Amino acid sequence: MIDLKNLTIEKAHESLVKGEFTCKELVEAYLKTITEKNKELNAYLEVYSDAVFQAEEAQKRFTNGTATILTGIPFAIKDNILIEGKIASAGSKILENYKASYDATVIKDLKKEGAVLLGRTNMDEFAMGSSTQTSAYGVTRNPVDTFRVPGGSSGGSAAALAGDLTLAALGTETCGSVREPSAFCGLVGLKPTYGALSRHGIIAMGNSLDQVSPFGKCVRDTEIIFNSLSRYDKEDGTSVPDVVRNKMKAAHSGAKKIGVPWHLFKEGVDKEVEENFKQSLEKFKKAGYEIVDIELPHAQYSLAAYYIIMPAEVSTNLSRFDGIRYGYSANKEVDNLKDVYMKSRGRGFGKEARRRILLGTYVLSHGYYDAYYNKALKVREKIREEVMNAFKNVDYILTPTVPITAFKLGEKMDDPVAMYLCDIFSAPANLAGVPSIALPSGISSNKLPFSIQFMAPHFHENNLFEVGKKFEEIR
Ligand code: GLN
């Protein structure tokens, strides 16, 4: 019996090298938990029938000496990342039967390493949400407490990893969609620097924000995945070239100065979450870190700016789903083109997607463009400047990951603004494009995971891994 609970990528790799188990045995162990638990959790929308075949192929690389750290490692993949020949529905009815015609770059790279793709995971429709309840394919349950949400939008990947239905998982972030489910499920989640990992082959939500982001059971797992997938990709116009990456990279390790923007702690931050955060700060102080107050005056407008910029990009990106080129179409039931558009989009998109298309179209429309969209862009630039300025004085910015712990299924669905508030601490990193890591920081009185989150300057992921590993020792 493989001890899945305590398995990490490194441990699995060691065992595969030593021949303690084979790639096939490892995959079969996960398929077994999937059979046992997925019905209840609904973490996977589809488990690939060729998973065992992939494992057998991976095994050959251990025999012929070409195995890498990710060879044979099972991955769960969010349903908005294209895998050639497989369905990618982005949690939406409108893409129910859409089969990808090519691999996303991150998938190409995982295949090159010989990773095993177990299946595609549930998500909020088009990654819009913080609870995986807006999926057209039902809610996903949190393995820590199955009456609660796993967070979102990458909730399926988080639940799969936290429930031992996979060893590694990919999600995507536009604003917190990996860090927030990491927090709710007790995992590590890394939002890389914007432009670090390729967006080629990701079903876009907000192009200027989207980033493929790994989940891990420990910091080292996210580091391994990040190192394997972070590279320049000419297929992605916003991928950052190597010369620029190298210039921006952390010049030193041993970074020890942490800034805390206390002014962002407003009403809505749960008392226990704040208490846990303070305890975490104490632990860093004891370990020799310097903690200082910082001000990010415009960061309080992060959510306001995000909920204008993102819908604007959403309304543009989702215009391609017109009932003609992709997915669901009402064309057989209506007799004119306008009705094809209206009926296909009206039925194919869920409520949240429709809400954001409307909002986005509005803020981009004549007369409102300057009043809303342009203003939001200016606020975003201010926030970016303030974050960059803060990093002249501190190495890290630290906050709780989410102001609350995992909430009950059904909660907040009638109150979009309450749902949006989950992102209050996540948004600055996405808007500024800097990397951020969410780390489990304890358990609440009702046995739910707490999480804290570090931000660092662009391409300083190494510093995040360093401080994250330190926290794993002292927490
Ligand atoms: N909660 C965010 C939203 O609803 C999540 C977006 C994301 O990161 N995909 O927009």
The stretch 91-105 carries a mean pLDDT of: 97
Q: What is the mean pLDDT of the chain?
A: 96
Q: Could you give the domains of the chain?
A: 1-475 (3.90.1300.10)
The ligand 1 atom at the shortest distance from the C-alpha of residue 352 is: 4
Percent of the chain with pLDDT over 70: 100
The stretch 352-363 carries a mean pLDDT of: 97
Where residue 236 falls (left for φ over 0; alpha for ψ -120 to 50; beta otherwise) is: beta
The stretch 393-420 carries a mean pLDDT of: 93
The pLDDT tens digits for 122-180 are: 999 999 999 999 999 999 999 999 999 999 999 999 999 999 999 999 999 999 999 99
| 113 C-beta closer than 6 A to ligand 1 | no
Gyration radius of the chain over CA positions: 21
| 153 C-beta closer than 6 A to ligand 1 | yes
Residue 51: pLDDT band with limits 50, 70, 90: very high
| 222 C-beta closer than 6 A to ligand 1 | no
For the question of residue 177 being annotated catalytic, the response is yes
Residue 351: pLDDT band with limits 50, 70, 90: very high
Is the pLDDT score of 250 beyond 80?
no
Phi/psi for 449 (5° steps) reads -70, 140
Residues 6+ apart with CB under 8 A from 168: 9, 70, 73, 74, 75, 76, 115, 161, 214, 215, 216, 221, 225
Contact assessment for residue 10 and residue 220, using Cβ atoms and an 8 Å cutoff: yes
Where residue 219 falls (left for φ over 0; alpha for ψ -120 to 50; beta otherwise) is: alpha
Taking alpha carbons only, the member of 127, 297, 282 closest to residue 199 is: 127
Instruction: Report pLDDT for 211.
Output: 98
The stretch 38-50 carries a mean pLDDT of: 98
Is the pLDDT score of 326 beyond 80?
yes
Q: Tell me the CA–centroid distance for residue 190 and ligand 1, in Å.
A: 15
Greater model confidence, 301 or 268: 301
| 352 C-beta closer than 6 A to ligand 1 | no
The pLDDT tens digits for 65-77 are: 999 999 999 999 9
Is the pLDDT score of 267 beyond 80?
no
Is the pLDDT score of 252 beyond 80?
no
Is the pLDDT score of 102 beyond 80?
yes
Instruction: Report pLDDT for 200.
Output: 98
For the question of residue 153 being annotated catalytic, the response is yes
Residue 421: pLDDT band with limits 50, 70, 90: confident
Parallel, antiparallel or unpaired: strands 436-443 and 290-293: unpaired
Is the pLDDT score of 253 beyond 90?
no
* List 89, 92, 131, 153, catalytic entry: 153
For residue 198, CA distances in Å to 70, 77, 474 come to: 18, 15, 34
Is the pLDDT score of 281 beyond 80?
yes
Instruction: Report pLDDT for 134.
Output: 96
| 203 C-beta closer than 6 A to ligand 1 | no
- Chain centroid, CA 211 distance in Å: 8
Is the pLDDT score of 251 beyond 80?
no
Is the pLDDT score of 255 beyond 80?
yes
Distance of alpha carbon 254 from alpha carbon 386, whole angstroms = 24
Q: Whose CA is nearest to atom 10 of ligand 1?
A: 128
